[in-house]
Structure 1
Amino acid sequence: MLGVSRLPRSTPEAQGLSAAALDSFVGALDAGEPEIQTIMLLRHGQVVLEEAWAPYRPEDPHLLFSVSKSFTSTGVGLAIDAGLLSLDDQVISFFDADELPETVSDNLAAMKVRHLLTMTTGHSQDTVEALSRDRRMVKIFLGLDVAHEPGTVFVYNSGATYMLSAIVQRLTGERLLDYLRPRLFEPLGATEATWQVSREGITTGGWGLSINTESLACFGQLLLQHGEWKGEQLVPAEWYEAATSRQVPNDNEENPDWKQGYGFQFWRGRHNTYRGDGAFGQFCLIFPEYDAALIITSATTDMQGILNTVWEYLLPALEGKDVPSVSRPSRLELLPPTGSAPAGGDGRTYRFTGRNDAGLTAVRLDPDGTGVFTFEEFGGSGSHDIVCAPGDWREQSAPGTVNDASPEAGMRVVTSAYGDGDAFVATVRWVETPFVARFTCRVAGDSMTVDGKLNVSFGPTEFTLTSEV
């Protein structure tokens, strides 16, 4: 089904919306600081707005980060409906004695499935960093200190979602993605779905899912239809009713749309909305009162800023009110940076040691003004080259990774380059993720220095590499 429309299309007016108001919404997104990559709006089950900022395309799979959690919730709901577990089962009951600590604390013993779902495990901070350092992620999670009584304190915890995935795998004998394929992804037509797997062989659950914009829109419509799809009840309506309701308070969060309560791996939001969201601006935002779903993929550190634009421009359009007028460009695109033609290089390969968040290991600047950049592959299994040349975006395919984020080989990449004095400046967009990197390369004597800058990152966004001599 990839690349085939699965949702019906309609004009905004036919679904009670103003096309001019939606144009203003798009114009406001385009003019804002956050970089928007794709959007899709559904109203009454019809696609009334779909846009992509070139070189991004709606049919490309996109890394969703923590939107993955809402799909993990779905898998847990299906397993509960199948009688494999209950919300009140102890977490420790699913794991072997050699995975448990020598002494099981009262708080660990009291931790239930519902506490994993509601991020109230009792941990004092997100456990994901401790887990990701080792392949024994389940054992490490169970061995961490549980400082609070489960159910009493909300702490956003991606490690808790990983444990939900581990539990589903223990009970079904299948990884979460494989369990969901025939039950969710294939009925929705999301056959392109991929999902990262941990080093101990478990679907990561809390992150790592990649699907395209329309597939995520289908999921949003499934939520609006209370789990029903084309006459079949894929997911129990009662599960989504509970999962998208306020199960626990989370007033300790800072941003207004992140302190409206939390469900089973869904955020409650202002204006009676709920959503799955992921790092750097990935959204599946549901407006139950208006029978609407908004999908956004983007690259930003200001996710609240995107929602503020939604409340200012889209919400009044759904309410039938006047929307502030903002002109939208005739073409939505993210142009490559421009400058002078780069000077030809010496054709030598300069190699770099030490880890960097872009995974860059070597650079070669050729006499014809092009550059070849070598990146390590996800998991350190090899390396691949990306060519950067002046002019329009140059498209290529690579199994590369930024921040260990890309789940599989064959990722679409676009590149461009220009000269800045004695520097060769290359831009790389991994367009199936939010990530963009700029590399400013200078050669002095027998050495090359690369100043790298990432648009968004879980770690530092800037770094400097100096080649081996």
Structure 2
Amino acid sequence: MFPRSAPAAQGISSRSIGALLDWFEDRAVEGHSVMVVRHGHVVAEGWWAPYSADRPTLLYSVTKSFTSVAAGLAIADGLLALDDRVVDVLPGHVPDDISEHARRLTVHDLLSMTTGHAGDSLGEAWELEPDDLVKGFLQVPFTGSGFAYDNATTFVLARMVEQVTGRDLREFLGERLFRPMGAEHAEWDRVASGRAFGFHGLHLTTEAVAAFGELLLRGGRWGDRQLVPREWVELATRPHTVIPPSEGDSARGYGYQFWVSEHGFYADGAFGQQCVVVPSLDLVVVVTSHSPEPGATPDAVWECLSPGIGRPGSARDDEVLAERLRRLAFPLVAGSAEPGRTARATVAATADPPLPAGSPVVVESVEGGWRVRLQPIGEVEVGHGEWRESAPLGRPVVASGAWQGDTFVADLFVITTPHRVRLVVDGGTATATWSTVPLTTPELALHLRAPLMTRPDVA
């Protein structure tokens, strides 16, 4: 998608990019990938092994910004308008006892998350109407005022786009955005009906996310094609509500499914998935990670990189940075191989379990590692001193392990997500624990199926 360049050739210091990596390390940000684009050239890129350039990864709420673009395209086509009401576009989902407030809700209200819900309505809406989230959303009491981050608004917006275009959201964006940009491997997690969540669930490679940021930076233009109207990009990425500054959060306002910061705008997903656009520096930075400081990366991008703009360093500086990026990696599990040693255990009950309590675990020695049998997943390959990949249910899991005394330990990376599971087998007991519990479901088996399909069917 992008040409490559040394940082110095694009007028940016490698040391400033190194300072951003230092910022990750100082704050214990668990990086998975980073890409820096200046003047339309990739000047720095790296993946923490076993993450890699060719893998799409779960973006969580970065997905919302793509749904915003889908709405903008429908509006540009004359099929939708900002003042169109939910009840008029989706009349089959209107509850009998709908309130006057709900009856007035418009596309603008959904895009700007100013519907009047006091907070995120998603869980309550699904409880009220397990088979119709739109109807449930319209029944949740509207007791708030101003902006409130509300996942269900984007689900409703996605259904409105599909209604007026007559196209599935995935097909619509595939034709109008992804294929023209060369992003051929977009994957979408879905609700049980097969529809895309809209508010999360999109999987893209790091470079495809950077291309999206570059598209926005260029006012919706990709090469010689205007894929998204410039007017929509400008409207979507300016604040429609002001957010008071808070410690550790870059947001100063909210646009149309984009966050607005002091120096630009960004798309933001849970656990540290971010696409940061800084127009004044002609800069796009993409980070996928597990971050303990959500929302802090855009400020870090400015603080670390802006001092290096217009101050390119030496060729040696560029070489040092490139070598540092090549060496990014998670540590392999330490310990011995002990060929021929096996283990059998039963999974202990824990909170948010990746594996069912009471299910069997069998560890079998194979050349260079182990084959671990897990119910209801199947066989997972685990390497010793290396990563091994398997896909028992469709999506890959990448793992390393070792014996540590009488205990077998393995790290299982659900490599298309920010999450991993640590498996510990000690005697007849096995424990499985998420590094961070996924927002959709703790069931490991669901995250290894392509596509992940969860939640009740939504009409």
Please tell me whether residue 423 in structure 1 is matched to residue 421 in structure 2.
no
Secondary structure in 2 matching 1:256: coil
Pair 183,335 (structure 1): closer, same or farther in 2 beyond 3 Å: same
| Contact 1:166/1:203, CA 8 A, preserved across alignment | no
Q: Does 1:42 align with 2:40?
A: no
Q: Does 1:394 align with 2:392?
A: no
How many Å apart are 1:459 and its aligned residue?
8.9
How far 1:458 moved relative to its partner?
3.8
Q: CA 1:416–1:250 in 2, change beyond 3 Å: closer, same or farther?
A: same
Q: Which residue of 1 aligns with 2:447?
A: none
Q: How does 1:26-425 map to 2 (within 5 A)?
A: 26-30=21-25, 32-97=27-92, 99-131=93-125, 134-148=130-144, 152-251=145-244, 255-258=248-251, 260-270=252-262, 272-318=263-309, 320=311, 329=324, 331-341=327-337, 348=344, 350=346, 356-359=352-355, 361-366=359-364, 370=370, 372-374=372-374, 376=376, 383-399=377-393, 409=394, 411-425=395-409
Deviates more, 1:435-444 or 1:215-224: 435-444
Note closer, same or farther for the CA distance 1:437–1:354 as it changes in structure 2 (3 Å cut): closer
Q: Which moved more, 1:364-373 or 1:260-269?
A: 364-373
Contact 2:361 2:430 in 1 (8 A): no
Alignment check: 8 A CA contact 1:344 1:365 kept: no
Pairwise CA distance, 1:427:
0.8
Q: Does 2:431 match 1:450?
A: yes
CA deviation string 1:55-111 (max 9, x = no partner): 1112210110000001000000000011111111111112234x2222121210121
Q: CA offset at residue 236 of structure 1?
A: 0.6
The match for 2:12 is 17
Query: Which residue matches 2:449?
Result: none
Distance 1:353 1:456, change over 3 A: closer
Task: Tell me, yes or no, if structure 1 residue 437 matches structure 2 residue 428.
Answer: no
What fraction of aligned residue pairs are identical, expressed as a percent?
34
2:174 alignment partner, SS class: helix
1:174 deviates by 1.6
Question: What letter is aligned with 1:33?
Answer: A
How far apart are the structure 1 equivalents of 2:62 and 2:422? 27
Q: Give the match's secondary structure for 1:235.
A: coil
Measure how far apart 1:17 and its partner are: 1.1
- Give the residue type in structure 2 aligned to 1:147: T
- How far apart are 1:124 and its partner, in Å? 1.2
Judge conservation of contact 1:373–1:388 (CA < 8 Å) in 2: no
The question of whether the paired residues in 2 share the 8 Å contact of 1:389 and 1:416 is answered with yes
Q: Is the 8 A contact 1:137 1:200 kept in 2?
A: no
Look up the SS of the partner of 1:370 in the other structure: strand
Return the alpha-carbon distance in structure 1 between the equivalents of residues 51 and 342 of structure 2: 33
Q: CA-to-partner distance for each residue in 1:390-432, whole Å, 9 max, x for gaps?
A: 3321122343xxxxxxxxx3x2321111223432211111122
Q: TM-score, normalised by structure 1?
A: 0.83
> How big is each residue's C-alpha offset from its partner over 1:113-156, in whole Å with a ceiling of 9 and x where there is no partner?
111101111111212223456342222222222224xxx42111
> Which AA in structure 2 matches 1:143?
Q
3-state SS of the aligned residue for 1:303? coil
Alpha-carbon distance between aligned partners in 2 of 1:162 and 1:460, rounded to the nearest angstrom: 18
Contact 1:347/1:367, CA 8 A, preserved across alignment: no
Normalised by the size of structure 2, how large is the TM-score? 0.85
Structure 1 residues 201 and 460: CA distance shift in structure 2, 3 A = closer
Distance 1:206 1:283 in 2: 15
Counterpart secondary structure, 2:213: helix
Aligned residues: 430
Structure 2 gap ranges (5+): 445-459
Q: Matched residues in 1 for 2:121 and 2:360: separation?
A: 34
Q: What SS does the corresponding residue of 2:241 show, helix, strand or coil?
A: coil
CA distance in 1, matches of 2:136, 2:194: 15
Q: Which runs of 5+ in 1 are unaligned?
A: 1-5, 377-382, 400-408, 464-469
2 CA distance for matches of 1:266 and 1:64?
14
Instruction: Quote the Cα distance in structure 2 between the aligned partners of 1:425 and 1:252.
Output: 43
AA aligned to 2:280 is: E
Amino acid at match of 1:256: D
Could you say if the C-alpha distance between residues 17 and 66 of structure 1 is closer, same or farther in structure 2, counting changes exceeding 3 Å?
Answer: same
One-letter amino acid matched to 2:55: D
2:455 is matched with which residue? none
Match of 1:467 in 2: none
- Relative to structure 1, the CA distance from residue 135 to residue 347 in structure 2 (aligned partners, 3 Å threshold; closer, same or farther) is farther
Q: Please list the CA deviations of residues 175-228 of structure 1 after superposition, one character each: whole Å capped at 9, or x if unmatched.
A: 111111111000011110011221233211110000101111111110011011
CA RMSD for the aligned pairs?
A: 2.9
Say which SS state the counterpart of residue 49 (structure 2) adopts: coil
**For the Cα contact (< 8 Å) 1:342–1:424, is it kept in 2?**
no
Q: Which residue of structure 1 lines up, in the alignment, with residue 448 of structure 2?
A: none
> What are the Cα deviations for residues 230-264 of structure 1, in whole angstroms up to 9, with x where unaligned?
21111110000000001112338764313x00000
**Which letter maps to 1:126?**
D
CA contact (8 A) 1:34 1:306 kept: no
Q: Measure, in 2, the Cα distance between the counterparts of 1:267 and 1:375.
A: 41
- For 2:135 and 2:187, the matched residues in 1 are separated by 25
